[in-house]
Amino acid sequence: MIEDKTPQRTSLSQLGEFGLISHLTQNFKINQPSTLTGIGDDAAVLDFKDKKVVISTDLLVEGVHFDLAYMPLKHLGYKAVVVNLSDICAMNAKPTQITVSIAVSNRFPLEALEELYDGIALASKIYDVDVIGGDTTSSQKGLIISITAIGEAKEEELVYRNGANETDLLVVTGDIGAAYMGLQVLEREKQVFQVNPNNQPDLDAYTYLIERQLKPEARKDIKELLEALDLKPTSMIDVSDGLSSEIIHLCKNSSKGCNLYEDKLPLDPQLINACEEFNVDSTTIAINGGEDYELLFTIKMDDYDKIKANPNFTVIGHMTPESDGIHLITRANTKIPLKARGWNALKNE
Amino acid sequence: MIEDKTPQRTSLSQLGEFGLISHLTQNFKINQPSTLTGIGDDAAVLDFKDKKVVISTDLLVEGVHFDLAYMPLKHLGYKAVVVNLSDICAMNAKPTQITVSIAVSNRFPLEALEELYDGIALASKIYDVDVIGGDTTSSQKGLIISITAIGEAKEEELVYRNGANETDLLVVTGDIGAAYMGLQVLEREKQVFQVNPNNQPDLDAYTYLIERQLKPEARKDIKELLEALDLKPTSMIDVSDGLSSEIIHLCKNSSKGCNLYEDKLPLDPQLINACEEFNVDSTTIAINGGEDYELLFTIKMDDYDKIKANPNFTVIGHMTPESDGIHLITRANTKIPLKARGWNALKNE
């Protein structure tokens, strides 16, 4: 839970910029047939032939998006990659390459960056994406990670945010809210640690929640699952800022309304227990907590049979005419307008 | 010369993250046929058909890469784009798209970001590239800009760093060293301003140097020029870190040596005058100063006739066997090993 416990500390300035880049990237292998040239020239060269190219980018800032007090650097590197790949998956495309740029203050020794890059390398390996470029520089304060993810898809495979129809079903993969509660658990432990550094936390009851926060996964498997089911979503987005915020995006982009059913929300038992312990409403957490990196999509009603009883998917609502608005239907059958209270990087300053 | 003199100051938190992104990007138009979908979905979608895709990325950090005391935000936005496009030009490819991510501390009002985006929009327009995505978030300190540039080229057009032959000629476009001396002039004026804010600087003698520093251009025109001359370089790189550093990159990647001739270096008269005034050696500035964003390339000896007397190109040396090493041949005809003393972001901490 500590940023850097390694006794060895090599100053970054000993290596210089080019030395650092080649040291950190020396073990990156090229696997994707679309990568013609990776790191080492002015730019990487890719060849997607008849496929479409999908590109997304994210900037992660220490103190805004992550706290190194409880986020180990290897996990951070892994998560930084996953967060970006999730956007590619949300287009129903296959992630193929990433570029990784970092800015670090000189409080980070080389060994800390090696940890970070170990996580990046692990994610690249598991998700089979090539690291094809990047930039390494110093920052005035803290660590900043900028990743651009590139993917490929056939034109007919791509799913946008704007294709939902009025009677489509709203489906989410996996379960939601756990990553946010994992963050609450970690924040509490950080405070306990600050009061009593000798306290040994017992986190057994929260292992799933913490894993969802520290080591989330992008749903790269969903594209293949949908193909196997011969099912193409009409619209899709990933759940990064919070379910309500993402639903509103799909509705606005598709000019549709939506009814979301509280009793359908897929919640892990650990989440329910933790919400009771923290005395917070699990529905609030599930619809406003972010960072689940599950996929949210709409399908035609006729396709319902293809996913029913499939443990990967939960139907949580249905689309409506735009004029009906966007609502949460509670367990008590009351209709509440859904608002985006998702995580907002700029309001959190 | 002041970061923000506008009386209007709109707090970023009033808009929120999504509001800010859509406000800043609302005027970006899509022009490139390869851009199918730009901003507004999880990822942009591009189609390069039979062309190869070229990708490069750069991270610019306030206090490391730029100083807002003399860098107006509009110029900074323009330069941030140009720096990245230069890498695409250095592959002999055509820039087509960029993504722009920024992290800002809350000391920046909305109006400051609008200035920055005005510069980004201007560069996008002049260089005919589409802004297809990005991320906007807060930083703990200062302004951070991360840009990924995307370009396209036919396979046979691409020029890498590793293709130089033993007897090839070494050619540079434009002139070099001016951007670095422009920075020295601006640094001096900043110090004068700090001592006496009422001092009115007379910068007429340095207009070219300052323009090269504050508003550099990427040599997008060179690809077309070379095509018109039916000339394909054997290797190419852009001059961002300094001529000596780039020559060493070309030599190492091509496993060749090089002789660079001091008396051939193309220097602007303003540069020569400023070097005399600042009592610095113009050759040292020309080979170690960075940020010229000219192109450095090698051509076969037989192609010399195609570029001789062309004002865009200067032959500054020739390649040699690797065992001969990399040398500067001075005006006094002495041979000095060339070392990379280029700007190093990590050593400058």
Q: Using a CB-CB distance cutoff of 8 angstroms, which residues of chain A are in contact with residue B63?
A: 140
Confidence band (pLDDT; 50, 70, 90) for A19?
A: confident
- Are residues A131 and A54 part of one domain? yes
Residues B39 and B61 in one domain: yes
Determine if residue B133 is labeled as part of a ligand binding site.
Answer: no
Nearest residue of chain B to residue A39 (CA atoms): B56
By the 10 Å C-beta count (0-12 exposed, 13-18 middle, 19+ buried), A9 is classed as exposed
Taking contacts as CB-CB distances below 8 angstroms, the residues of chain A near B39 are none
In terms of C-beta density within 10 A (0-12 exposed, 13-18 middle, 19 or more buried), how is residue B290 classed?
buried
- The mean pLDDT of A140-145, rounded to a whole number, is 92
CA atoms of B326 and B314, how far apart (whole Å): 19
The answer to the question of whether A50 is labelled as a binding residue is no
The distance of B174 to chain A (nearest Cα, Å) reads 19
What per-residue confidence (pLDDT) applies to A257?
98
Q: What is the pLDDT of residue B312?
A: 96
B322 and B281 assigned to the same domain = yes
Does residue A58 surpass a pLDDT of 80? yes
Is A128 annotated for ligand binding? no
Q: Is B214 found in the same domain as B147?
A: no
Tell me: pLDDT of A47 over 60: yes
Handedness of CA A114, A116, A122, A124 (dihedral sign): negative
Which tens digit of pLDDT belongs to each residue from A64-93?
A: 999 998 899 999 999 999 999 999 999 999
DSSP lists the bridge partners of residue B55 as A44, B150
* DSSP of A106-164: TTS-HHHHHHHHHHHHHHHHHHT-EEEEEEEEE-SSSEEEEEEEEEEE-GGG---TT--
Burial class of residue B54, CB neighbours in 10 A (0-12, 13-18, 19+)? buried
Radius of gyration of chain B (CA): 21
Annotated ligand binding at A130? The verdict is no
Q: B135 a known binding residue?
A: yes
Under DSSP, is residue A92 helix (H, G, I), strand (E, B) or coil?
coil
Q: Is B57 annotated as a binding residue?
A: yes
| DSSP at B29 | P
Distance, in Å, from the CA atom of B308 to the CA atom of B298, rounded to the nearest integer, reads: 14
Chain A hits for B158, Cβ within 8 Å: 45
Task: Tell me which chain A residues have a C-beta less than 8 angstroms from the C-beta of B136.
Answer: 345-346
Residue in chain B closest to A252 (alpha carbons) equals B40
Q: How far is A91 from chain B (nearest CA, A)?
A: 7
**Sequence-distant (≥ 6) Cβ neighbours of residue B33 within 8 angstroms:** none
Q: Do A45 and B347 touch (CB under 8 A)?
A: no
Q: Which residues of B touch A67 (CB under 8 A)?
A: none
Q: Which domain holds residue B141?
A: 12-157
Cα four-point dihedral sign B67, B82, B185, B346: positive
Beta bridge partners of A54: A151, B45
User: Based on the domain organization, do A181 and A209 belong to the same domain?
Assistant: yes
CB atoms within 10 A of CB B269: 9
Residue B284 within a domain: yes
pLDDT digit string (tens) for A214-269?
999 999 999 999 999 999 999 999 999 999 999 999 999 999 999 999 999 999 99
Contact A84, A57 (CB under 8 A): yes
Here the tokens at position B55 are 């990708």
**Same domain for A137 and A213?**
no
Q: How confident is the model at residue A291 (pLDDT cuts 50, 70, 90)?
A: very high
Considering only residues A147 and A20, tell me which one the structure prediction assigns the higher pLDDT. A147
CA distance A132 to chain B (A): 9
Q: Contacts of residue A134 in chain B, CB cutoff 8 Å?
A: 57
Q: Please tell me if residue A8 touches chain B, with a CB cutoff of 8 Å.
A: no
Nearest alpha-carbon partner for B274 in B201, B183, B197: B183
- Of the three residues B134, B157, B180, the one that is the final residue of a domain is B157
Angstrom distances, CA of residue A280 to CA of A180, A209, A274? 12, 15, 9
Q: Does residue A139 form part of some domain?
A: yes
Supply angle C-alpha A153, A156, A162, rounded to 5.
95
Token readout for B71 is: 């860098």
* 3-state helix, strand and coil shares in percent for chain B, rounded to the nearest 5: 35, 25, 40
Closest chain B residue to the Cα of A63, Cα to Cα: B140
Q: Are B68 and B76 in contact (CB under 8 A)?
A: yes
- Residues A47-77 as b/e (b if ≥16 CB within 10 A, e otherwise) read bbeebbbbbbbbbbbbbbbbebebbbbbbbb
Whether A206 and A330 map to the same domain: the answer is: yes
Beta bridge partner(s), residue B45: A54, B37
Confidence (pLDDT) at A2: 46
- B102 to chain A: closest CA residue: A59
Confidence of residue A349 (pLDDT cuts 50, 70, 90): very low
A291 is in an annotated binding site: yes
Distance CA A208, CA B76 (A): 45
Q: Based on the fold, state whether residues A194 and A279 are members of the same structural domain.
A: yes
For residue B82, CA distances in Å to A13, B8, B286 come to 27, 29, 21
- B141 touching chain A per CB within 8 A: yes
* pLDDT bucket at A25, cuts 50 / 70 / 90: confident
**Same-domain check for residues B224 and B250:** yes
Shortest distance, CA B42 to any CA of chain A (angstroms): 5
Three-state DSSP state, A334: coil
Instruction: Write out chain B residues lying below 8 Å of A253, CB-based.
Output: 40-41
The annotation status of A47 as a binding-site residue, yes or no, is no
Q: Does the beta carbon of A120 lie under 8 angstroms from any beta carbon of chain B?
A: no
> Do residues B302 and B224 touch, judged by C-beta distance below 8 A?
no
Residue B348 resides in a domain? no
Q: Is residue B349 one of the residues assigned to a domain? A: no
Measure in Å the smallest separation between the Cα of B315 and chain A Cα atoms.
Answer: 22
Nearest to B349 among A90, A106, A160 (CB): A106
CATH number reported for the structural domain that contains residue A281 in this entry: 3.90.650.10
Say whether both B187 and B97 belong to one domain: no
Residues A254, A330, single domain; the answer is yes
Of A15, A43, A101, the CB nearest to B55: A43
Query: Which letter, b or e, does each residue of B134-143 get, where b requires 16 or more Cβ atoms within 10 Å of its Cβ?
Result: bbbbbbbbbb
Contact residues on chain A for B53, CB-CB shorter than 8 A: 45-48, 53
CB distance A29 to A118 below 8 Å: no
Positions of chain B with pLDDT under 70: 1-8, 16-18, 342-349
Q: Check whether residue A183 and residue A122 sit in a common domain.
A: no
Interface pTM, i.e. ipTM: 0.89
CB-CB under 8 Å, A138 with B99: no
Interface A:B, Cβ pairs < 8 A: 230
Among A110, A136, A157, the domain-final residue is: A157
- CB–CB contact A137 B59 (8 Å): yes
A346 has a pLDDT exceeding 50: no
**Residue at which a domain ends, from B101, B133, B157:** B157
Strand partners, B52: B153
Burial of A144 (0-12, 13-18, 19+ CB in 10 A): buried
> Which residues of B fall within a CB distance of 8 Å from A347?
13, 16-17
The structural domain count of chain A equals: 2
Of B134, B149, B346, which has the smallest distance from its Cβ to A16's Cβ?
Answer: B346
**Closest-CA distance of chain B to residue A187, Å:** 19
φ, ψ at B292 (rounded to 5°): -75, -30
Tens digits of residue pLDDT in A191-216: 888 888 888 778 889 999 999 999 99
Residue B307 at interface with chain A, using a CB cutoff of 8 Å: no
Is the Cβ of A140 closer than 8 Å to some Cβ of chain B?
A: yes
Is A342's pLDDT higher than 60?
no
Tell me the C-alpha distance between A291 and A273, whole Å.
Answer: 19
Could you say which residues from 47 to 106 on chain A have a Cβ atom under 8 Å away from some Cβ of chain B?
A: 47-50, 52-59, 61-65, 87-88, 90-91, 93, 97, 99, 101-103, 106
Residue B6, domain member (yes or no): no
With an 8 Å Cβ cutoff, is A40 touching chain B?
yes
Contact in structure between A153 and B47 (CB atoms under 8 Å): no
User: Which residue, among A336, A237, A238, A342, has the nearest Cα to A286 in the 3D structure?
Assistant: A342
Residue type at A151 in one-letter notation:
G
The answer to whether residue A348 is domain-embedded is no
- Inform me whether the C-beta atom of residue A158 falls under 8 Å from chain B C-beta atoms: yes
Nearest to residue A131, comparing CAs of A182, A177, A80? A80
Interface residue B41 vs chain A (CB under 8 A): yes
Asked if the structure places residue B2 within a domain, the reply is no
Indicate the pLDDT class of residue A8, thresholds 50, 70 and 90: low
What tokens were used for B131?
């802004």
What is the average per-residue pLDDT within A91-108?
A: 94
How many angstroms separate the CA atoms of B148 and A223, rounded?
26
Domain contains A262: yes
Q: Which helix (H) or strand (E) holds B276?
A: helix B269-278
Domain of B58: which CATH number? 3.30.1330.10
**DSSP assigned state of B291:** -
Q: Would you call B46 and A57 a contact, using CB atoms and an 8 Å cutoff?
A: no
Chain B residue closest to A142 (CA)?
A: B140
